[in-house]
Amino acid sequence: MEQRLSRAPLSLKVLITCFLGLIGIGYVFGLINIFNNTGFSYTGLVVHYRGGEDPLPPEFAFAKLIHEHHVHLFGLSMLFFLIGWIFTLTSLPEFIKAVLIATPFAAMLLDFTSFWFLAFAGPLFAWGSIVFGGFMAFAFFLLIGRPLYEIWVMPLWEKKWGDQIPWFLG
């Protein structure tokens, strides 16, 4: 029989909820930091990573990207691994779980690649960062939202409908 988060012991539900809740708050703080640096705008990204009208010297842009990305690659990879592992415990079909777990990793790689192209190839690559950064954030919140849904909401549906939960709720 398959283990379901909705039927997990209370202690595991509390542990996962506390972890996902605080990780979610931390991610929101990261988004606020991005907003403070770029305004979530095309122009803000270009100015931050290219220097605006007067381009940053290549050695400065290189050093800046290395400094930011070495920390973020390690940290976000660990974060996505941990929330992805929790997401594997959901009741979604395996193929759907595999695709959704891979999404933030792929988006992160494409997002960070966009920054390098933005800095060294041209400002149009800021659009790639906007799109892939958005996919990364969407995937992150989906990966923490589904387990929380299964832990706290799904048991209510199971009480109401038993094992016959409507497809759109299960």
Other residues' Cβ atoms within 10 Å of the Cβ of residue 23: 17
pLDDT, one tens digit per residue, over 142-168 is: 999 999 999 999 888 878 877 777 666
**Distances from the Cα of 22 to the Cαs of 25, 73, 85, 153, in angstroms?**
5, 20, 16, 19
Other residues' Cβ atoms within 10 Å of the Cβ of residue 112: 19
For the cut 60, the answer to whether the pLDDT of residue 62 exceeds it is yes
Residues contacting 119, CB < 8 A, separation 6+: 49, 50, 56, 61, 62, 64, 65
For the cut 60, the answer to whether the pLDDT of residue 1 exceeds it is no
How confident is the model at residue 170, as a pLDDT?
67
Averaged pLDDT, 103-122: 96
Using 50, 70 and 90 to split pLDDT, how confident is the model at 14? very high
User: To the nearest whole number, what is the mean pLDDT of the chain?
Assistant: 92
Averaged pLDDT, 127-140: 97
Looking at the chain, the whole-number percentage of residues with pLDDT higher than 70 is 95
Domain spans of the chain, in order of start: 10-155
Strand ranges in 5-138 using DSSP code E only, listed in sequence order: none
Averaged pLDDT, 20-49: 95
Averaged pLDDT, 19-45: 96
Report residue 57 as tokens: 């010297």
Averaged pLDDT, 43-54: 86
